[in-house]
Amino acid sequence: MNENERNVSSVDNKSSDFQRRTEPNFAWGNAADILQELIALRGGWTMGPSGSGGNTVIDTSGGGYHLSRNSNPNHGLDGLVPYVNFDGSNDELYYLNNAQFNITGQELSTVGTYRGLMLGGWFWFDDDPTLADQEHLIGIWSTVLADRAYRIVRLTDGTIRFQIGNGVATPGVASTTVAVSGQWYFCAARWDPNVLEYIYVGTTNGTLEIVSGATIAAPIVTSAANFTIGAMLAGTDDRMDGRASHCWVCASQSASHTLIKSIFHHQRAMFGS
């Protein structure tokens, strides 16, 4: 048992003293609020609120970057969890290409130590992995190399991969965790320029896998592609069959694992309800 597993077990054994970590109703109150504390938060979507007559999914970060729908990704509720469902056909949430999401790792609005990228959310798959299909979860990606900026994707073997690109190379790092159908997974990523990139994959039982890999120097490519969740290229490629909830993206990185671990543990009880 590693240190993280021992700590989770210890908290679970004292669950009556840690209600905000173990009870869904307390986690529900924390789930959206904790995202407001992320530095350089560019967008956050709990997947609950909609606007424009139901045509957009509201950016609950306050930035106003509401996502438009391609085809009909629709709202649902799993216990206390609001989500948007993707049918694996043409469904996609997107924001038209915008400098807000072209995160290069050189943003002067962020202190140098914390420049980089973080993104993530909770995802549920309605299908098991197949050798025929990988599924785009969140980010800016394209079939065109010059437009591959960053994303999290489920690969054909079911592992979760974080990829970034500079127009020439697209290094990535993948989990050993295999994401199967019928349960929620916390999938997040962090890019520390010139150092490492990290993928985080967590399950509702408290297990959080962290894998690191070699990376590239800043800047990430400035892409002409849209920021999307659930598919890419107007729902025509790497289409997800499943759900997304509490997604976010930041023009920063936390310089340690602590912040992403905190998001995971404050939210997981709600997703296990």
Rounded CA gap, 82 and 67, in Å?
Answer: 15
DSSP 21-33: HH-HHHHHHHHTG
Decide if pLDDT at 17 tops 50.
no
Residue 19 belongs to a domain = no
Structure tokens at 216: 């590239």
With respect to residue 265, please indicate whether it lies within any of the assigned structural domains: no
pLDDT at 9: 61
**pLDDT, position 7:** 61
Helix ranges restricted to H, the chain = 3-13, 19-22, 24-31, 258-271
CA-CA distance, 86 to 33, in Å (whole number)? Answer: 25
187 located within any domain: yes
Query: Does residue 22 fall inside a structural domain?
Result: no
1: confidence class by pLDDT, cuts 50, 70, 90? very low
Across 24-28, 39-43, 158-162, least confident range? 24-28
Query: What is the chain's Cα-based Rg?
Result: 17
More confident residue, 28 or 270: 270
Show the tokens assigned to 252.
């920063």
Instruction: Indicate the DSSP class of residue 135.
Output: E
Provide φ and ψ at 116, rounded to 5°: 155, -145
Q: What is the DSSP string of 150-203?
A: EEEEE-TTSEEEEEE--SS---EEEEEEE--BSSEEEEEEEEETTTEEEEEEEE
Partnered with residue 44 across adjacent β-strands are 248
Tens digit of each residue's pLDDT (9 = 90 or more) over 51-66? 888 899 999 888 899 9
Q: Which amino acid appears at position 89 of this protein?
A: S
Mean pLDDT of 252-273: 89
Give the separation between CA 15 and CA 107, rounded to whole angstroms: 41
Domain span at residue 166? Answer: 40-258
| Residue 57 bridge partners (DSSP) | 50, 67
241 part of a folded domain:
yes
Residue 22: per-residue pLDDT: 58
**Pairing assessment for the beta strands 208-213 and 196-203 based on DSSP bridges:** antiparallel
Residue with the larger pLDDT of the pair 161 and 206: 161
Q: What would the mean pLDDT of 79-97 be, rounded to a whole number?
A: 94
pLDDT band at 131; cut points 50, 70, 90? confident
Number of domains in the chain: 1
The CATH number assigned to the domain holding 149 equals 2.60.120.200
Tell whether 7 is covered by a domain. no
Whether 3 maps to a domain, the answer reads no
Distance CA 109, CA 127 (A): 41
Q: Indicate whether 271 belongs to any domain.
A: no
Q: What is the pTM of this model?
A: 0.90
144-176: b (≥16 Cβ within 10 Å) or e:
eeebbbbbbbbbeebbbbbbbbbbeebebbbbe
Q: pLDDT, tens digit, for every residue of 142-167? A: 999 999 999 999 999 999 999 999 99
Angle at 145 between CA 142 and CA 151, to 5 degrees: 50
